[in-house]
Amino acid sequence: MTINEYLNKNYKKIIGWGTGGCFKKLYKELNIDLEYLIDSNESRTGQVLEGYTIFSPSVLQKEELDDVLIVIFSIFHEEICETINKYGDFCTINGEQLLLFGYTLKENNKILEKEEENKDIVISISRNDFSLVVNGLNKFVREQMVLFNKNGYINIHLFWRHFNLKGFQGLYFFVVKDGSMVGSYRATELFHIIERVKTVIIHSLATMDLDALDLILEHVNRSIPVLYYIHDFSSICSHIKLMYNDKVFCRSYEDGWRKCATCESGEKRKKIFEYHKKLFQRKNVKIIVPSNSTKEIIQRSFNPGPKKIQVILHQKYRIVNKENIKINPVIKVAYVGYKDIHKGWDIFKRLVGDFRDKYKFYCFGASDEIIEGVEYVDVSFITDGEQAMTKKLVEYGIDVSLLLSLWPETYSYTYFESFAAGAFVVTTTLSGNIYDQIQKNKNGIAVTSYQELKDLFSDEEKLRSLILRNKRRIVGLRSNEEEIFKHF
């Protein structure tokens, strides 16, 4: 059965939500029949895309709940679901999940070919197919896969989903072998492979059923190392950035988690925290963190033994002096990374509003929001290589890189990519490893409030002076293969 055949058989209407890059990418791949499209950007209402009329969200007031499945074409799935829920409890699935669902409709492929059956296997685990989604975590997983393959290992990457579609309920495991999707499987179909792995590497369990990991670990030899990489704080709370009521960094590990009692993530945090506390007590589990600031937070949260946690930088590089320091006649300022309120997106919007007539602003990364006065630049390490961001920053001659995170970034590829491009970094004192790195490398400045940021950009002479003092950059930026591979 094809996806279209399944949808037509079980739902009267399939409605698409989102008309940006995700739609353009996934719609053609899915090739599904839609009733119409919805977009929250009212300027698109009434337009036609791929033959489908675009409506505003209010059109859902006319639809029957049982008849409709809404397919979301956006990386901002949770935000859109909150909007949809205002109109009713509609069945929803994002485009990526629907694409995955197609594998459950097919006969399962054999995971290992005959010539692969005697090769060593490394299992990696994260919340999605790293080969399709662009972010720092997936960049690192991809780099590790290349390292595994170079050393003769097969990389079996696992993630799982619960489906609640008509006729398909329950847990499905998806297998990506050496960067290519193989298929979806029930847990029992994987045990024969899991039992012969050499290492298990966990990168993120965010949004996934934690108990499903137990199904895997129960069939892994207890002497096999299990490496748990900390890319965010999903091992502590459902809010992976530890934001109290989605507003400010909580620091609850400092006060015995008292803030959790009044936080919307408090109940979920209990289950997640207790699960990981028990997991980290296993003798064969080692915690890997990419920075000292992250190590401190994990230590204060879980209090693991001194041999349980280790700092391993994601990348290696050399610091050199710049040959020439130039500033554009009109200073070029870039928001670097995907749109996220906790990465400073709202601060960026305010800054553009206040200074669009004074500076040239850019957005390097994914966003579904168009801001007047901002030039958008698509960047993908999947299609353009591992150094895609650095190359784009250099190509556009960016003077200032804005990394305005409101939570402690555990590593931040965008910082090192900006450093390699020679850009001056403006960050916040809350930004974790970014803040630590600009203090160490003297290639940026940190602000404590929007007023400080506004004062900085109001004084163009001072800003130019700071950019001219940024006399160093990094070269040879690459994966820290030697140190990473020691732990396999």
Render pLDDT for 344-369 as a digit per residue (tens, 0 to 9). 999 999 999 999 999 999 999 888 78
3-98: CATH topology is: Rossmann fold (3.40.50)
Evaluate whether 437 touches 403 at the Cβ level (below 8 Å). Answer: no
For residue 140, what are its two tokens? 């690192």
* Whole-structure pTM value: 0.85
Render pLDDT for 308-346 as a digit per residue (tens, 0 to 9). 999 999 999 999 999 888 899 999 999 999 899 999 999
Domain spans of the chain, in order of start: 3-98, 114-315, 318-478
Instruction: Measure the N-to-C terminal CA separation of the chain; round to a whole number of Å.
Output: 41
pLDDT confidence tier of residue 488, bands split at 50, 70 and 90: low
Class of domain 318-478 (CATH, top level) = alpha beta
How far, CA to CA in Å, does 155 sit from each of 194, 313, 394, 397?
A: 12, 21, 33, 38
pLDDT of 380 higher than 90 = no
Which comes out higher in pLDDT, residue 146 or 25? 146
pLDDT of residue 287: 97
Topology agreement, domain 3-98 and domain 318-478: yes
Strands (E), 232-350: 243-244, 248-249, 285-289, 309-311, 315-321, 332-336
Class of domain 114-315 (CATH, top level) = alpha beta
